[in-house]
Amino acid sequence: MGADITALIVEWAHLENIPDLEREHALIEAADPDADDGMVEDGWAWLPPAPEGFTVWCARYEFGGTLGSFKPHFWAGERWEAVREHVPADLRTALDTFLAGLIWTPPGTDSDVNVDEADAEPWHGALWAYCPPQDIPALARAWSAAVFRLEELREPFTAHAAAPGKWVGRFEEFIQLLRGWAEVIAEAHRRGWGLVGLPI
């Protein structure tokens, strides 16, 4: 898995005004890190630069310690898969909802279940994440239900998922990645925007 991920929150009305076949290219152009004035190692990089009087329509989030790679996100999903049956049911449900909206494929689910020939927006089939604004509140609620109980995951993570020296092999790394996604969701929710994860 040598793929990268670039997480963007997007003003959906602006995105929908771009023709379907041009959307992915427009997002890639807007998110191009080579166009930045400086490196952002962790946190928000607001893009594209907006001339005076114009509104920024998307923003890129950089996950600390990942170097832009999708591998940590993939392995976070794998760690959750190893842990989830060992945590209380209500906490499991909350994190299932949160992670399934982002980086985790629930057991028995086709990873392409939301992308088929009849899809109204086939351009998003190549994206690592795709979450329109109407889906963001459910993820925000799920995180709110889990955030103050994350310490309950430490013992089962240590027992069933820890892999020191490997991607997201430590509990602290797992929680850091979750908190990064929570920050992305919180900002999208606050603005009424959606989320995409570009494979760059």
Distances in Å between the Cα of 137 and the Cα atoms of 36, 142, 151, 168, 188 are: 30, 9, 24, 27, 9
Asked which of 11-15, 23-27, 74-78, 125-129 is least confident by mean pLDDT, the reply is: 125-129
Average pLDDT in the 6-26 region?
89
Say what the pLDDT of residue 106 is: 83
Say what the pLDDT of residue 55 is: 67
Highest mean pLDDT, choosing among 55-69, 99-113, 174-188: 174-188
Query: What pLDDT digit, counting tens, does each position of 25-69 carry?
Result: 888 888 875 555 555 568 888 766 665 656 678 999 999 888 888
Say what the pLDDT of residue 48 is: 60
Say what the pLDDT of residue 64 is: 87
Say what the pLDDT of residue 56 is: 79
Q: How far apart are CA 123 and CA 119, in angstroms?
A: 9
Residues in the chain: 200
Say what the pLDDT of residue 167 is: 93
Average pLDDT in the 68-97 region?
95
Tokens matching residue 58: 């998307």
pLDDT at 139 over 60: yes
Tokens matching residue 75: 């392995």
**Nearest Cα residue to 5 out of 92, 99, 128, 121:** 128
pLDDT at 120 over 50: no
pTM of the model: 0.85
Which contiguous run of DSSP H or E holds residue 94? Answer: helix 89-100
